[in-house]
Structure 1
Amino acid sequence: MTYDSLTAQVAPHLPLLAALRKTGNVTRAAELLGVPQPTVSRRIAALADVLGAPLTVPDGRGIRLTRAADLLAEAAERGLATLDAGVRLAREEVSPESGHVVLGFLHLLGRSLVPSLLRDYRARYPGVRFTLVQGSRQDMVDRLAGGELDLALVAPLPSVPSLASAGLVDEEILLCVPAGHPLAGRRSVRMSELAGEEFVLLEQGYGVRTLTDELCAAAGFTPRIAFEGQESDTVRGLVAAGLGVALLPRFGPGPPAGVAEVPLSPRPYRTIGLVWRAGEPMTPAVTAFREHVLATPQH
């Protein structure tokens, strides 16, 4: 008999071993397990046959575990404690009231959209736990496809067969220039007018960077890159310092000091949406949060 097969035969009897070690009495062990005493006696005999050694010896009016059985019972208690903890975690995981959601999102969405969604949802389900992961659009899409995330908020929406998505809101992209820039007071600016400007861009993999490259290409030029960054706040800071121009979503409720936001003509938009793995089952907690997000109006 191999170790694995012996373990498989002993595993169903772990509660019995723990109960015997705790009570030292067959009758009380049967009560603790909620089974008739003859059933406990039969299980003791069957397990003794599997081990090839007795489990108990008489001890006054009760019983005492043999040394071999006591070692096994001690391991059974540790194993049951670990299993109990796992069961509690699994129960939380599948409960919409106390489950766990791993949500990925773009840095740009952490200012208002994500906090408002979480605030409203936690008001209904305060026991739900969230793990929040931020990164570039491509990073979020890759992590979602790889199973690291349950849901992701990205823009623009990916065209990947294994992923499903739903748009939430269309967000206008504006030209950000230093406050003293000649274009700062304009009512609108055409992309072709930016051909001679130096750009402060987000790195490759960010949705706004992809959109910027596409808009420049459509206007017939390649942007001259002065700096590249990973966060929109850094990009805006560099613009405010006079180091270039950038295309970014509106900074609410108004642009930061030193930066002017100017509409482009025609006005470009990006669609912010929720993405999940297509055709895969979700836990109730993830499903409930997805439905909450899809049902929440965005402006």
Structure 2
Amino acid sequence: MVHQMRSRDRLSPSGDTEDIERSSAETALLLAPRLAHFAGVARTEHVTRAAQEMQVPQSTLSRALVRLEEDLGVDLFARHGRTVSLTPAGRRFLGFVERALAEIERGAEEARADADPAAGKVAFGFLHTMGAETVPGLLQAFRADHPRVRFGLVQNYGEAMLEGLRAGELDLCLTSPVPDAPDLVARRLDEQKLRLVVPADHRLAARRRVRLAEAAEDTFVTLEPGYGLRRITDDLCREAGFTPRVAFEGEEAETLRGLVAAGLGVALLPPPAVPRPGVAELTVTEPRAVREIGVAWREGHPDTPPVAAFKKFLLSRRGHLLP
């Protein structure tokens, strides 16, 4: 029977097949501690000199090189007494090692820079509806005392930002509703009144205050399912005794406000940054139409100094977050 050699197998010097059962990640983990040693000896072509420069015992360096060659199954050096020279395989391998070590050093420099207390980086997410006034005002106020701190900003809907937290793509996010999840920590910061927005020629437009049930027969324009404001809209309508008839589902609150002005329906929305013509914005008296705004972060995740400073700043704005 013919034996078919798998990609994970290696021929031993005697010709027998050895199943090494080693993933690429395991191989990298095995080789990584010896790569700097290999590069140091390759640069000096002298084990003793390399050991002195790297401040490691010569015996330790020699053993590391031998084990590296054994792990790779190839000779990287030709020995000439106290000196060594790279074999063709060693010279080719050195190019990969030098690039890998340079990437590691670049990554270390970026990690140190991001954690710098004075000039580090904060990955911060926020809702679309908070991008016009709230977030710019917060950043301006924070940077008055931390002028060199950098921000990586992500504007998205709530669920997407929570996934960004879990994936390590965000350090903090402002979201609504305030999440309740075992892997996240969330703190309520403020609440925002929602208004029933109707076309300027709507039958309720002349009113200043309405009960939400008075819009039960109207068509609604809403955000898409998965958005926090959509969930709040559905819950408030249910509390008012009806299920809204939805004519359009969008991704931006101001798009919905424009569609209301065009007569496509009514909407429950937070106040606009700038008043929009063609609509009337009515206070909802029943049920209580608000959305809570909170800040969230990963449970048990250590903060860098700039993240800790910005978190402390946000928590200090409880009750005064919104313009």
* TM bucket, shorter chain: 0.7 to 0.9
Q: Does 1:295 align with 2:316?
A: yes
Unaligned runs of 5+ residues in structure 2 are: 1-11, 13-19
Q: Does 1:95 align with 2:112?
A: no
- The residue identity in structure 1 corresponding to 2:112 is R
Aligned pair in 2 of structure 1 residues 120, 57: CA closer, same or farther (>3 Å)? farther
Q: Give the deviation of 1:211 after TM superposition.
A: 2.2
Partner of 2:299: 278
Partner of 2:214: 193
Are the aligned partners of 1:203 and 1:229 in contact in 2 as well (CA < 8 Å)? yes
Q: Which has the higher helix share?
A: 1
Aligned pair in 2 of structure 1 residues 243, 165: CA closer, same or farther (>3 Å)? same
Q: Does 1:130 align with 2:152?
A: yes
TM-score (norm: length of structure 2): 0.75
Aligned pair in 2 of structure 1 residues 18, 110: CA closer, same or farther (>3 Å)? same
Query: 1:1-299 to 2 correspondence within 5 Å?
Result: 11-24=32-45, 29=50, 32-33=53-54, 35=55, 39-40=57-58, 42-43=59-60, 45-47=62-64, 49-50=66-67, 51=69, 55-57=78-80, 63=83, 65-67=85-87, 69-123=90-144, 124-135=146-157, 137-145=158-166, 147-252=168-273, 254-266=274-286, 267-296=288-317, 297-299=320-322
- Higher mean C-alpha deviation, range 22-31 or range 84-93: 22-31
3-state DSSP class of the match of 2:189? strand
Q: Give the deviation of 1:93 after TM superposition.
A: 4.0
Aligned pair in 2 of structure 1 residues 234, 80: CA closer, same or farther (>3 Å)? same
3-state DSSP class of the match of 2:198? strand
- Higher mean C-alpha deviation, range 194-203 or range 10-19: 10-19
Unaligned runs of 5+ residues in structure 1 are: none
Are the aligned partners of 1:178 and 1:241 in contact in 2 as well (CA < 8 Å)? yes
**Structure 1 CA distance, aligned partners of 2:116 and 2:258?**
43
**Structure 1 CA distance, aligned partners of 2:30 and 2:227?**
54
**Structure 2 CA distance, aligned partners of 1:256 and 1:43?**
74
RMSD: 3.3
Are the aligned partners of 1:151 and 1:276 in contact in 2 as well (CA < 8 Å)? yes
Q: Give the deviation of 1:48 after TM superposition.
A: 5.6
**Structure 2 CA distance, aligned partners of 1:17 and 1:3?**
25
Q: Give the deviation of 1:262 after TM superposition.
A: 1.5
3-state DSSP class of the match of 2:194? strand
Aligned pair in 2 of structure 1 residues 70, 47: CA closer, same or farther (>3 Å)? farther
Aligned pair in 2 of structure 1 residues 24, 125: CA closer, same or farther (>3 Å)? farther
Q: Give the deviation of 1:207 after TM superposition.
A: 2.3
| Residue-by-residue CA offset, 1:62-119 (whole Å, 9 max, x unaligned) | 9562425544544432332122122113323433444443333221112222222233
Equivalent pairs, count: 290
| Residue-by-residue CA offset, 1:240-284 (whole Å, 9 max, x unaligned) | 1112111111113x4212112121214522111101223333344
Aligned pair in 2 of structure 1 residues 241, 287: CA closer, same or farther (>3 Å)? same
- The residue identity in structure 2 corresponding to 1:128 is R
Aligned pair in 2 of structure 1 residues 69, 204: CA closer, same or farther (>3 Å)? closer
| Residue-by-residue CA offset, 1:194-231 (whole Å, 9 max, x unaligned) | 12222222222222222222222222222222222221
**Structure 2 CA distance, aligned partners of 1:298 and 1:18?**
54
Percentage of pairs with the same residue: 40
